Amino acid sequence: MKDRTLLKTGIVGSVIAAICCFTPALVILFAFAGVSAWLAFADYVLFPLLFLFVGITAYALLLRHRHKKAAC
């Protein structure tokens, strides 16, 4: 995977997971879908996903920094 693609994936995933964790967007979406009972376990999935995508972003930034450093 290219560094730029990895960085975009990490940032977009982090933003989506953060929106679902910290705002009622997920509650409203699930209520319209009729599956709001599943929200009891949403934190067990969303927080690890948030940490995963933040980790992907940090890894992509590290790779990008190494490539720029090697080019100099």
Q: Where are the domains of the chain?
A: 3-71
Residue 47 has pLDDT above 70, yes or no: yes
Q: Are 46 and 20 in contact (CB under 8 A)?
A: yes
Higher pLDDT: 21 or 64? It is 64
pLDDT at 1: 63
Q: Is the pTM of this model over 0.75?
A: no
**Nearest Cα to Cα of residue 46 among 64, 63, 33, 27:** 27
Looking at 1-72, list the stretches that DSSP marks H as alpha helix, in order from N- to C-terminal side.
Answer: 3-22, 25-33, 43-71
**Nearest Cα to Cα of residue 9 among 60, 44, 47, 51:** 60
Rg of the Cα atoms in the chain: 16
pLDDT at 22: 67
